[in-house]
Amino acid sequence: MGKYNVQKKQVLDCIMALVEQGFVQGTGGNVSLLLQGGSAVAVTPSQREYATMTPDDICVVDLDLRPLEEAGAAPSMETAMHLAIYRSRPDAGAIVHTHQIFASVFSLINEPIPALFDEVAGAIGPKVEIVPYALSGSKELVDNVVSKLGNRANCYILQNHGALSLGRDLDHARRNAELLEKAAQVYYYALTTGRAVSVLPQEVQDLMSLIMADRQDEEIKRRR
Protein backbone atom coordinates (compact mmCIF):
# COMPACT_ATOMS: atom_id res chain seq x y z
CA MET A 1 0.00 0.00 0.00
CA GLY A 2 1.36 3.39 -1.03
CA LYS A 3 2.15 6.10 1.48
CA TYR A 4 -0.53 8.47 0.15
CA ASN A 5 -3.24 6.03 -0.96
CA VAL A 6 -5.82 7.32 1.53
CA GLN A 7 -5.32 10.95 0.51
CA LYS A 8 -5.35 10.08 -3.19
CA LYS A 9 -8.68 8.31 -2.73
CA GLN A 10 -10.02 11.40 -0.93
CA VAL A 11 -9.04 13.60 -3.87
CA LEU A 12 -10.65 11.19 -6.31
CA ASP A 13 -13.85 11.03 -4.25
CA CYS A 14 -13.99 14.83 -4.16
CA ILE A 15 -13.60 15.30 -7.91
CA MET A 16 -16.18 12.59 -8.60
CA ALA A 17 -18.65 14.33 -6.28
CA LEU A 18 -18.05 17.55 -8.21
CA VAL A 19 -18.69 15.66 -11.46
CA GLU A 20 -22.01 14.39 -10.10
CA GLN A 21 -22.98 17.94 -9.15
CA GLY A 22 -22.14 19.21 -12.63
CA PHE A 23 -19.40 21.47 -11.28
CA VAL A 24 -16.73 19.91 -13.53
CA GLN A 25 -17.03 18.08 -16.83
CA GLY A 26 -14.78 15.91 -18.98
CA THR A 27 -11.22 16.80 -18.03
CA GLY A 28 -11.92 20.36 -16.84
CA GLY A 29 -11.36 21.58 -13.31
CA ASN A 30 -9.02 20.16 -10.70
CA VAL A 31 -8.73 19.32 -7.00
CA SER A 32 -5.78 19.31 -4.62
CA LEU A 33 -5.16 18.36 -1.01
CA LEU A 34 -2.27 19.62 1.10
CA LEU A 35 -0.59 16.61 2.66
CA GLN A 36 0.43 16.29 6.28
CA GLY A 37 3.27 18.61 7.12
CA GLY A 38 2.46 20.94 4.24
CA SER A 39 5.40 19.81 2.11
CA ALA A 40 3.46 18.14 -0.71
CA VAL A 41 0.07 17.96 -2.40
CA ALA A 42 -2.10 15.29 -3.96
CA VAL A 43 -3.65 16.71 -7.13
CA THR A 44 -5.78 15.51 -10.01
CA PRO A 45 -3.94 14.71 -13.26
CA SER A 46 -3.86 16.65 -16.50
CA GLN A 47 -6.17 15.72 -19.38
CA ARG A 48 -7.54 12.58 -17.80
CA GLU A 49 -11.26 11.79 -18.13
CA TYR A 50 -12.81 11.70 -14.67
CA ALA A 51 -15.14 8.87 -15.65
CA THR A 52 -12.20 6.46 -15.94
CA MET A 53 -9.93 7.91 -13.25
CA THR A 54 -8.58 5.73 -10.44
CA PRO A 55 -6.65 6.62 -7.26
CA ASP A 56 -3.43 5.62 -9.03
CA ASP A 57 -3.97 8.50 -11.45
CA ILE A 58 -3.84 11.09 -8.66
CA CYS A 59 -0.43 12.79 -8.62
CA VAL A 60 1.66 13.59 -5.56
CA VAL A 61 4.21 16.39 -5.93
CA ASP A 62 6.29 18.49 -3.58
CA LEU A 63 6.06 22.28 -3.43
CA ASP A 64 8.59 22.55 -6.27
CA LEU A 65 6.41 20.36 -8.54
CA ARG A 66 8.74 17.38 -8.23
CA PRO A 67 6.84 14.06 -8.30
CA LEU A 68 7.00 12.02 -5.08
CA GLU A 69 5.25 9.00 -6.57
CA GLU A 70 4.96 7.59 -10.04
CA ALA A 71 1.53 8.35 -11.53
CA GLY A 72 -0.25 7.44 -14.73
CA ALA A 73 -0.31 11.06 -15.92
CA ALA A 74 1.24 14.45 -15.34
CA PRO A 75 -0.27 16.64 -12.62
CA SER A 76 -2.88 19.23 -13.59
CA MET A 77 -1.53 22.16 -15.57
CA GLU A 78 -2.98 24.36 -12.80
CA THR A 79 -0.89 22.73 -10.05
CA ALA A 80 1.41 25.78 -9.84
CA MET A 81 -1.65 27.89 -9.08
CA HIS A 82 -2.67 25.54 -6.27
CA LEU A 83 0.84 25.61 -4.79
CA ALA A 84 0.92 29.42 -4.91
CA ILE A 85 -2.38 29.54 -3.03
CA TYR A 86 -1.08 27.22 -0.31
CA ARG A 87 2.02 29.39 0.08
CA SER A 88 -0.06 32.57 0.37
CA ARG A 89 -2.91 31.17 2.44
CA PRO A 90 -1.63 28.96 5.27
CA ASP A 91 -5.23 28.40 6.42
CA ALA A 92 -6.04 26.49 3.22
CA GLY A 93 -5.73 22.71 3.26
CA ALA A 94 -7.62 21.91 0.06
CA ILE A 95 -8.59 23.66 -3.18
CA VAL A 96 -11.21 22.89 -5.80
CA HIS A 97 -11.19 24.59 -9.19
CA THR A 98 -14.55 24.21 -10.89
CA HIS A 99 -16.42 25.28 -14.00
CA GLN A 100 -19.79 25.48 -12.23
CA ILE A 101 -22.48 27.15 -14.31
CA PHE A 102 -23.80 30.11 -12.34
CA ALA A 103 -20.42 31.19 -10.99
CA SER A 104 -19.16 30.97 -14.56
CA VAL A 105 -21.90 33.38 -15.66
CA PHE A 106 -20.32 36.02 -13.43
CA SER A 107 -16.89 35.15 -14.81
CA LEU A 108 -18.20 36.27 -18.21
CA ILE A 109 -19.88 39.50 -17.15
CA ASN A 110 -16.95 40.35 -14.84
CA GLU A 111 -19.29 40.95 -11.89
CA PRO A 112 -18.26 40.21 -8.27
CA ILE A 113 -20.88 38.58 -6.05
CA PRO A 114 -21.78 40.67 -2.98
CA ALA A 115 -22.79 39.52 0.50
CA LEU A 116 -26.34 38.22 0.12
CA PHE A 117 -26.79 35.68 2.94
CA ASP A 118 -25.11 35.56 6.32
CA GLU A 119 -24.46 31.80 6.24
CA VAL A 120 -22.76 32.19 2.86
CA ALA A 121 -20.78 35.33 3.73
CA GLY A 122 -19.66 33.73 6.98
CA ALA A 123 -18.20 30.76 5.10
CA ILE A 124 -16.81 32.16 1.84
CA GLY A 125 -16.43 35.88 2.61
CA PRO A 126 -18.56 38.99 2.13
CA LYS A 127 -17.48 39.47 -1.49
CA VAL A 128 -16.49 37.02 -4.20
CA GLU A 129 -13.87 38.88 -6.20
CA ILE A 130 -13.08 38.49 -9.89
CA VAL A 131 -9.54 37.37 -10.72
CA PRO A 132 -8.46 39.05 -13.99
CA TYR A 133 -8.17 36.77 -17.00
CA ALA A 134 -4.98 35.01 -18.00
CA LEU A 135 -4.31 31.80 -19.91
CA SER A 136 -4.80 28.56 -18.01
CA GLY A 137 -1.54 27.30 -16.55
CA SER A 138 0.26 30.60 -17.08
CA LYS A 139 2.43 32.45 -14.56
CA GLU A 140 0.23 35.48 -15.19
CA LEU A 141 -2.81 33.59 -13.94
CA VAL A 142 -0.89 32.46 -10.85
CA ASP A 143 0.13 36.07 -10.16
CA ASN A 144 -3.43 37.31 -10.71
CA VAL A 145 -4.83 34.77 -8.26
CA VAL A 146 -2.21 35.52 -5.61
CA SER A 147 -2.94 39.25 -5.91
CA LYS A 148 -6.52 38.65 -4.70
CA LEU A 149 -5.84 36.32 -1.77
CA GLY A 150 -5.24 39.06 0.77
CA ASN A 151 -8.97 39.52 1.40
CA ARG A 152 -8.95 36.06 3.05
CA ALA A 153 -12.08 34.97 1.19
CA ASN A 154 -12.61 31.28 0.46
CA CYS A 155 -14.04 31.70 -3.04
CA TYR A 156 -12.94 33.56 -6.16
CA ILE A 157 -14.20 33.79 -9.73
CA LEU A 158 -11.67 33.45 -12.55
CA GLN A 159 -12.62 35.79 -15.39
CA ASN A 160 -13.72 33.89 -18.51
CA HIS A 161 -12.75 30.64 -16.83
CA GLY A 162 -14.48 29.34 -13.69
CA ALA A 163 -14.17 29.40 -9.91
CA LEU A 164 -11.78 28.63 -7.06
CA SER A 165 -12.91 27.45 -3.64
CA LEU A 166 -10.61 26.99 -0.66
CA GLY A 167 -11.17 25.12 2.59
CA ARG A 168 -9.33 23.65 5.55
CA ASP A 169 -10.02 20.22 4.05
CA LEU A 170 -11.68 18.73 0.98
CA ASP A 171 -15.15 18.61 2.53
CA HIS A 172 -15.03 22.30 3.40
CA ALA A 173 -13.60 23.31 0.03
CA ARG A 174 -16.39 21.44 -1.80
CA ARG A 175 -19.00 22.88 0.56
CA ASN A 176 -17.70 26.36 -0.17
CA ALA A 177 -18.07 25.69 -3.91
CA GLU A 178 -21.68 24.72 -3.23
CA LEU A 179 -22.31 27.90 -1.25
CA LEU A 180 -20.74 29.94 -4.05
CA GLU A 181 -23.07 28.33 -6.57
CA LYS A 182 -26.09 29.07 -4.38
CA ALA A 183 -25.12 32.73 -4.10
CA ALA A 184 -24.34 32.98 -7.82
CA GLN A 185 -27.62 31.36 -8.84
CA VAL A 186 -29.78 33.50 -6.57
CA TYR A 187 -27.90 36.68 -7.50
CA TYR A 188 -28.34 35.90 -11.20
CA TYR A 189 -32.09 35.47 -10.83
CA ALA A 190 -32.33 38.58 -8.63
CA LEU A 191 -30.56 40.64 -11.29
CA THR A 192 -32.98 39.44 -13.98
CA THR A 193 -35.88 41.10 -12.14
CA GLY A 194 -34.39 44.52 -12.84
CA ARG A 195 -35.03 45.55 -9.25
CA ALA A 196 -32.45 46.67 -6.68
CA VAL A 197 -30.71 43.76 -4.97
CA SER A 198 -30.60 43.87 -1.18
CA VAL A 199 -27.22 43.01 0.34
CA LEU A 200 -26.26 42.42 3.95
CA PRO A 201 -25.71 45.53 6.10
CA GLN A 202 -22.07 46.60 6.25
CA GLU A 203 -21.82 45.91 9.98
CA VAL A 204 -22.94 42.33 9.37
CA GLN A 205 -20.41 41.95 6.57
CA ASP A 206 -17.67 43.23 8.87
CA LEU A 207 -18.73 40.80 11.59
CA MET A 208 -18.70 37.87 9.16
CA SER A 209 -15.21 38.84 8.01
CA LEU A 210 -13.97 38.87 11.61
CA ILE A 211 -15.55 35.51 12.40
CA MET A 212 -14.08 33.92 9.30
CA ALA A 213 -10.63 35.41 9.96
CA ASP A 214 -10.72 34.08 13.55
CA ARG A 215 -11.47 30.58 12.28
CA GLN A 216 -8.64 30.82 9.76
CA ASP A 217 -6.20 32.01 12.42
CA GLU A 218 -7.17 29.09 14.64
CA GLU A 219 -6.56 26.70 11.75
CA ILE A 220 -3.13 28.22 11.13
CA LYS A 221 -2.23 27.84 14.81
CA ARG A 222 -3.42 24.24 14.81
CA ARG A 223 -1.04 23.36 12.00
CA ARG A 224 2.06 24.85 13.63
Instruction: Name the residues annotated as catalytic.
Output: 78
Phi then psi for residue 93, to 5 deg, are -120, -5
CA dihedral of 162, 208, 144, 49, whole degrees rounded to 10: -30
Q: Report the amino acid identity of residue 198.
A: S
Residues 6+ apart with CB under 8 A from 106: 112, 113, 128, 130, 157, 184, 187, 188
DSSP state of 56: G
Phi then psi for residue 157, to 5 deg, are -110, 130
Calculate the alpha carbon distances from 49 to 10, 78, 180 in Å: 17, 16, 25
98: three-class secondary structure by DSSP: strand
67: three-class secondary structure by DSSP: strand
Contact 115/128 with Cβ under 8 angstroms? Answer: no
| Beta sheet of 162-167, edge-to-edge order | 59-62, 40-43, 30-34, 94-98, 162-167, 155-158, 129-131
